[in-house]
């Protein structure tokens, strides 16, 4: 049997049900698994629950429940929520299962036989919430580094000689640059190891809950030592055949459990037992809410399925599409180096701009024009080179992103072909080609449709149900072979297209109406005398060069709430992205603006319009009705190019 591509998440504590912060890690693992399956790899995707901790027993007692019944209930909630989020795991391990208990006790015995475990006395601080031992110097104002209460513990326990593995771990990290991702986390781990690893207490006095130390029922195995072994237990170790699923290709986790546990204790345990180390450990940053980490104890939990249900009710999209929108939001926001902040406003904005405006608009426009100009049949002919290059670039960018486990970059790559398509439609203007009966029309329509087919394949690991909806409207089977993405064979000429059906109805964010005041009629002023036309004040070239004009491109556009004139734009100008508010809503919709090049005055002082900050001004002419006619280069120019 060939080695599987093994992906793991941490096993989650069963003291509460999953929230969007927990789901972040599992979503990243699921996207990785779906992508690897499309690439033709046989995948083993593992998740599960950690049920042996002291705080789990205490949570059960607080709830007035038997610990076994309590963990059964919470574990069932995890198993229900993950499929509801479109998570397709291959195995779900619980640390109360016999297979895990067998593996933990055998692992302990092997390390003990090799001289890596000894009996000693522990005296120090213990954080029950994170199940972590701390030195006095680690505490911050009498609390653990995570801000949790600590207890003074004095016990006779078993210890793992982790101090012996520091040099081996540093050598492995040095010779395997992709072992710890991202680089910032790797640097933290290296610094932590170089400070000197100390032996770790790996047992506690038996409270009647947990896995007994082999040969000593008075002690149970420390929960972190116990929990980490789940990865090889699920692979089948110590029974024969475990090598088919271990070592893991990638282990996903939050940054808080990387340095002390997955990047030091876990590999040291494996080295001590003579087992291979995982190929990659990815410790992503946190998803915050307000000024803190999302957690039940802080009362700021966002349940992912509740978020999806709310979106479906407010926008009118299907439940499956709403779940995909939550998946897309988490993927696009996936914090790797730095923490990100969840806000309901940002969630709604991404839904409207990225999904309704970009993807939904591209699908509806392409199918509607194919219906009008090609009788809803995929035309023959070659795809235009500009479209072919954009397709290849988007696919390559997605592959590069996933090779580095950058799910956020993959989401951007998937949408890049959609943004190209909206701009391509504006540039090639199929309606104009149809009017002049230009022979290029079939190739343009085919290029548009192949961009959609490509987008369907690229979004599939992130938004599987949305991808199904797109391919259904294209009249083709789901694109599940990665190699076929972008090929002309993936969308045969003559395929019957379906009528466009909006997938992402635009979310109308409620506006608060201001009460109108009754006003008394005012006397009409006498007509002002007609003034002669003013001669424009002359300026010198020195005055003119003070105005800095540059070429920009509109990445996102949306109406300013409460205004019928203003649009809020995100404009890229070279390496910089600016927010600009422009009074152009009368003449331009968001769909008209996305992807368009514009001329921007970049050295105006920032101003606020309707409470929204604007950092620049677009150049426009004025039509007969006083509306705006945006100025733009007559051919493509690099963003950031100066205008003279």
Closest C-alpha among 290, 355, 365, 366 to residue 321 = 355
Q: Residue range 40-58: average pLDDT?
A: 91
pLDDT band at 532 (very low <50, low <70, confident <90, very high): low
Q: Residue range 77-90: average pLDDT?
A: 93
Contact 465, 319 (CB under 8 A): no
State residue 60's pLDDT score. Answer: 84
Of 296-305, 359-368, 616-625, the poorest mean pLDDT is in 296-305
State residue 188's pLDDT score. Answer: 97
Closest C-alpha among 117, 417, 123, 420 to residue 269 = 117
pLDDT at 531 over 80: no
Q: Residue range 352-376: average pLDDT?
A: 95
pLDDT at 522 over 50: no
* Bridging pattern class, strands 180-181 and 91-94: unpaired
Task: Return all residues near 431 (Cβ < 8 A) that are at least 6 apart.
Answer: 369, 373
Task: Return all residues near 23 (Cβ < 8 A) that are at least 6 apart.
Answer: 81, 85, 304, 330
Q: Residue range 374-397: average pLDDT?
A: 97
DSSP 383: P
- Alpha carbon distance 83, 113 (integer Å): 42
pLDDT band at 350 (very low <50, low <70, confident <90, very high): very high
pLDDT at 289 over 70: yes
Model confidence pLDDT, tens digit, residues 9-44: 999 988 666 778 889 999 999 999 999 999 999 999
Contact 27, 88 (CB under 8 A): no
Could you tell me the domains of the chain?
5-284 (3.40.50.620), 304-490 (1.10.730.10), 541-643 (2.40.50.140)
Closest C-alpha among 354, 410, 320 to residue 39 = 410
Verdict on whether the full-model pTM lies above 0.95: no
State residue 554's pLDDT score. Answer: 80
Q: Residue range 344-360: average pLDDT?
A: 95
Higher pLDDT, 236 or 293: 236
Residues in the chain: 644
């Amino acid at each position: 049997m060939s080695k599987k591509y093994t992906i793991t998440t941490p096993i989650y504590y069963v003291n509460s049900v999953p929230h969007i912060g927990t789901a972040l890690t599992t979503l990243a693992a699921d996207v990785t698994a779906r992508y690897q399956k499309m690439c033709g790899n046989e995948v083993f995707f593992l998740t599960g629950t950690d049920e042996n901790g002291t705080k789990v027993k205490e949570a059960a007692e607080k709830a007035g429940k038997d610990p076994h019944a309590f963990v059964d209930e919470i574990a069932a909630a995890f198993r229900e929520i993950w499929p509801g989020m479109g998570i397709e795991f291959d195995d779900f391990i619980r640390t109360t299962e016999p297979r895990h208990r067998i593996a933990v006790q055998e692992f302990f015995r092997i390390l003990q036989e090799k001289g890596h475990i000894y009996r000693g006395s522990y005296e120090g601080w213990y954080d029950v919430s994170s199940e972590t031992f701390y030195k006095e110097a680690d505490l911050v104002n009498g609390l653990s580094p995570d801000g949790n209460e600590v207890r003074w513990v004095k016990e006779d326990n078993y210890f793992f000689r982790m101090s012996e593995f520091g040099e081996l771990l540093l050598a492995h990290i040095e010779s395997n640059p992709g072992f710890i991702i991202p680089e910032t986390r790797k640097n933290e781990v290296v610094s932590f190891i170089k400070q000197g690893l100390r032996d770790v207490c790996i047992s506690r006095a038996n409270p009647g809950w947990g896995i007994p130390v082999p040969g000593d029922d008075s002690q149970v195995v420390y929960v972190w030592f116990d929990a980490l072994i789940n990865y090889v237990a699920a692979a089948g170790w110590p029974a024969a055949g475990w090598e088919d699923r271990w070592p893991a290709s990638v282990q996903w986790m939050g940054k808080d459990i990387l340095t002390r546990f997955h990047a030091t204790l876990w590999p040291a345990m494996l080295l001590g037992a003579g087992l291979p180390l995982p190929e990659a450990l990815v410790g992503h940053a946190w998803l915050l809410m307000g000024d803190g980490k999302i957690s039940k104890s802080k009362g700021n939990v966002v349940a992912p399925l509740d978020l999806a249900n709310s979106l479906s009710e407010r926008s009118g999209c299907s439940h499956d599409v709403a779940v995909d929108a939550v998946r897309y939001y988490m993927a696009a926001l996936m914090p790797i180096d730095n923490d990100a902040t969840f806000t309901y406003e940002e969630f709604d904005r991404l839904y409207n701009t990225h999904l309704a405006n970009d993807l939904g608009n591209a699908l509806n426009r392409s199918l509607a024009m194919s219906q009008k100009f090609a009788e809803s049949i995929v035309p023959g002919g070659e795809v235009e080179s500009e479209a072919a290059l954009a397709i290849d670039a988007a696919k390559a960018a997605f592959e590069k992103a996933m090779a580095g486990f950058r799910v956020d970059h993959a989401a951007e790559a998937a949408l890049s072909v959609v943004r190209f398509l909206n701009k391509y439609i504006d540039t090639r203007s199929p309606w104009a080609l149809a009017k002049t009966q230009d022979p290029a029309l079939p190739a343009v329509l085919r290029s548009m449709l192949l961009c959609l087919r490509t987008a369907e394949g690229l979004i599939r690991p992130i938004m599987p149900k949305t991808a199904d909806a797109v391919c259904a409207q294209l009249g083709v089977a789901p694109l599940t072979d990665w190699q076929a993405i972008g090929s002309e064979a993936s969308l045969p000429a003559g395929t019957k297209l379906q009528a466009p059906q909006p997938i992402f109805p635009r979310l109308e964010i409620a506006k608060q109406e201001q009460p109108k005041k009754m006003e008394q009629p005012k006397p009409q002023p006498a007509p002002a005398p007609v003034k002669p036309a003013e001669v424009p004040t002359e300026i010198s070239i020195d005055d003119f060069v003070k105005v800095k004009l540059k070429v920009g491109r509109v990445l996102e556009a949306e109406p300013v709430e409460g205004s019928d004139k203003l649009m809020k734009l995100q404009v890229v100008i070279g390496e910089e992205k600016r927010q600009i508010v422009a009074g152009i809503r009368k003449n331009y919709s968001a769909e008209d603006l996305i992807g368009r090049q514009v001329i921007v005055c970049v050295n105006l002082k920032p101003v606020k319009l309707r409470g929204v900050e604007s950092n620049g001004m677009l150049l426009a002419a004025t039509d007969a009705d006083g509306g705006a006619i945006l100025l733009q280069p007559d051919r493509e120019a690099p963003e950031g190019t100066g205008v003279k």
